[in-house]
Amino acid sequence: MAEQLRAQQLRMANHIRDPQANPPPPGIEARRLAVYRQLFLGNVQSMLAGSFPVLHASLAPGQWQTLTADFYANHRCQTPLFTEMAGELVDYLQHRADLPGWVAELAHYEWIETVLLLADDAEPAHDPDGDLLDGVPVLSRLACPLAYAWPVSQIGPGHLPQQPPAEPSLLLACRGRDHQVQFSRLAPLAHALLVSLQEQPLTGREHLAALAALVGAEPESLQLQGLALLNDLKAQGVLLGTTPRTYLNPL
């Protein structure tokens, strides 16, 4: 009996998810099934529209409905949490090569704000007065460097670019003490430094030496500029301070 009930529930769930590909369970009126489908799909579409207001407004109503219905039917979410549904749509859009390239990037740009708003306030251990050159600079968990091929901060219903610009959009998303997420533009050097800080636990001096080698500059010439940049990021709260090299890489 339990297996039969499970099979019936699964058949109904599959039909509600994708009625074109899955026949309805027997004995249930089609009108009732349509009500169930509209209830479930409508809730998902409404929640996603609230999470991606610019993307929702930028797509034609029919395109948004078709896109979210396909997501509902074919994407297998890795989490049951509604608060993580937006991230599931971002993952789904990465595989939709038939859509304009700005769609996936705009969705990611809007999703990052939600990620930072819901992020835990707890920061990693650090010395707020540490030496930014000789210590390992600690990036705040509430700050995230971003790079997009499309000008995501400018896209909207009145501006839908046909081709990506020659230069990428380099941005910093950061949640402040007022719990508001702000986006700011980054120069290429600042973006490269933040990505380096995010990816590997090196001292500030080592990060700057690696960047100098990357751009073909003399380490000494870049160090002064880099130190000023590190201090500026610290003043903005993007960098919290430092931690000793041995703290992140114990022997």
> Could you read off the pLDDT of 122-133 as tens digits, one per residue?
899 999 999 999
Instruction: Classify burial at 98, counting beta carbons within 10 Å of its beta carbon; exposed 0-12, middle 13-18, buried 19 or more.
Output: exposed
**Residue 81 CA from chain centroid, whole number:** 16
**Residue 146 CA from chain centroid, whole number:** 9
The ranges assigned to domains in the chain are: 2-99, 136-248
Distance CA 79, CA 164 (A): 33
Are residues 88 and 107 in contact, defined by beta-carbon separation less than 8 angstroms? no
Same CATH topology for 2-99 and 136-248?
A: no
pLDDT value at residue 17: 78
CB contact burial 129-163 (16+ within 10 A = b; e otherwise):
ebebbebbbbbbebbbbbebebbbbebeeeeeeee
Distance CA 139, CA 198 (A): 7
Q: What is the mean pLDDT of residues 85-98?
A: 95
Supply φ then ψ for residue 214, to 5 degrees.
-65, -40
Whether domain 136-248 has CATH 3.20.20: the reply is no
Q: What is the mean pLDDT of residues 139-158?
A: 96
Please state, for a pLDDT cut of 70, what percent of the chain lies above it.
97
> Could you read off the pLDDT of 237-248 as tens digits, one per residue?
999 999 987 654
Torsion of CA 98, 100, 104, 106, to 10 degrees: -160
> Could you read off the pLDDT of 37-49 as tens digits, one per residue?
888 888 899 999 9
Q: Which CATH architecture has domain 2-99?
A: Orthogonal Bundle (1.10)
Distance CA 185, CA 173 (A): 9
pLDDT at 250 over 60: no
Q: What is the mean pLDDT of residues 29-38?
A: 78
Which of the two residues, 116 and 9, has the higher pLDDT score? 116
pLDDT value at residue 251: 38
Distance CA 201, CA 213 (A): 18
Dihedral sign computed on CA atoms, order 66, 68, 72, 74: positive
> Could you read off the pLDDT of 41-77 as tens digits, one per residue?
888 999 999 999 999 999 998 999 999 999 998 998 8
Distance CA 108, CA 94 (A): 9
Lookup result for tokens 């600042």: 190
pLDDT value at residue 214: 85
Distance CA 239, CA 237 (A): 5
